[in-house]
Amino acid sequence: MNKITKETNLTGFFFTLFMYLIILVGYFMEVIRGNRTVGMLVFLGVCLLLIYGTSFFIYRKEKSSPKVSYIVILGFLIPYGYTLLTSTSVLSFIYIAPLFIISFMFFEMKLISILSVSVLLLNVFFVRRMTLLGIYNSQETELLSTIALLVTVVVGSLLVGYYNKNLMDNMKKLLEDEQKRIKNKETTAKEVHEFSSLLVESAQELTASSEEASSVAEEMSKTIEDIANGVSDQAHDVQKGLQVVDEMGDLLNSDQKFMFTLNQDLEHIDKMKQEGTEVLQELIRETNTHNNAIIDISENINLTQMSVENIGKVVELITSIAEQTNLLALNAAIEAARAGESGKGFAVVADEVRKLAEESKQSANQIKEIIQTLTNNTTTVVETMLDVKNISESQSASVDKTHTRFMKIDDAVKKIQNSMEKLSHSSNVIVEKKNEIIELMRNLSEVSENNASGTQEISASIEEQAAGIEQTAITSESLTNLAVQLETALNKL
């Protein structure tokens, strides 16, 4: 139907364009004679461009669009209506003929109805105008004939449009049904063709599979014989496997005992490590106390040495004063000797003062020696304390290193304990798996015994299967020939 609509749109487009151009040529001749104006000719030309330009644009986008028929037919009413409204010729109404011819081409009842009503109104107005102008006389036969002809054309157009519409609907339905049947036939033929192709392929594959299965059956027969021979060996191997698994179980039990002993040793090591850590921490505390005491002693010795130095300065001052006193006493004795008898008492005093000065000097020298000895001893003590301090610092460093090593030992022991826990868990799992293996080996032993009797039954079944495979090969070959014949018949169809 779309193809018919496309061709009808194209035919209607060019037919109405041709009629429109004929009307324009007639108007052009009227303009030359002076009966029509140039403005009206230009107006009709512009309408021509708009109507057919729009129709052509729509036709290019959608060739089966119903808008094309409406635009070209209703657009043709413009020059037709203008002719009826302005013409004085009795034969002007004959321009209705191309309109109805075009409308019948589309079989569009709605379009025919609109066109019939429009034409009827225009021609009624045309007859009325012609009567008023005196061109028609209401008593004349020509007027009655025109009206009768007009009514007949309109009514006939509606009837023709109605029956054409029903005819087109029936034809459309028949075409749609026929298209569905053709489509169903094509689909069915395509499916049958695909099925036949698939059948050919399946038959060929079945033939190949049958040949392959026959070959496999022979190989299986040989294999079954080998299996039958190997069943007894398998049973013997299973018994050996059970013995090996039992021996492995004994080894696992021994390993578990060793791991238990190793765990106890690790616990003892951990306990000793904790005790050593406590002793080491106590040693660290005592070492810190000892270092603090050494620092205090060093500070006190330094203070004592400073005090000794101050005492030495005082002794030197006393020695200087004793020397000056001795010198003054000597001067006093000399002056007393010069004084004679009056200076004897002063001389005695001066002599005593001189003796005291000498004794003070001697005492100061003794004190100086003692201070020197004390200074030397203090210096020795300071040096000794420095050595002790260095030794103490080395001891502290050694204690720190020992503590660090103890921490590393602690980490190593913990890692060993974790590894032992994992190893113990793995050992338990292995023991469980060993028990499962023993159970499986026993089941395998039973299966091996059953296989010995089953191989004979399998051998007999394989012989029967080989015979069935040969029959299948014959059937598949016949099926292949049938499928080829079916595909050949479909290709002819």
**Tens digit of each residue's pLDDT (9 = 90 or more) over 188-212:** 667 666 666 676 676 667 667 666 7
The residue with tokens 């019948």 is 104
> Nearest to residue 238, comparing CAs of 456, 438, 431, 455?
438
Cβ atoms of 94 and 12 within 8 Å: the answer is no
Would you give the distance in Å from CA 341 to the centre of its chain?
133
Instruction: Name residue, tokens 């004994």.
Output: 250
Q: Is the dihedral of CA 287, 293, 296, 300 positive or negative?
A: negative
Kindly report the average pLDDT of the chain as a whole number: 71
Q: Report pLDDT digits (tens) over 145-157.
A: 555 555 555 555 5
Question: Strand, helix or coil at 88?
Answer: coil
CA distances from 2 to 5, 63, 74, 164, 167 (A): 5, 8, 22, 17, 17
Placement of tokens 């500070």 in the chain: 299
pLDDT average, residue stretch 273-277: 75
pTM: 0.33
The pLDDT tens digits of the residues spanning 356-409 come to 878 877 887 888 788 788 777 777 877 777 776 787 777 778 767 777 876 776
Q: What pLDDT is recorded for position 100?
A: 59
Domains and CATH numbers, the chain: 2-136 (no CATH), 230-323+355-460 (1.10.287.950)
Cα R_g (the chain), whole angstroms: 70
The confidence score (pLDDT) of residue 338 equals: 75
- What are the angstrom distances between the C-alpha of 73 and each of 120, 155, 216, 256? 15, 19, 81, 108
pLDDT, mean of residues 329-342: 73
CA–CA gap between residue 217 and residue 452 (Å, rounded): 20
Q: Judge whether 40 and 101 are in contact, CB under 8 Å.
A: no
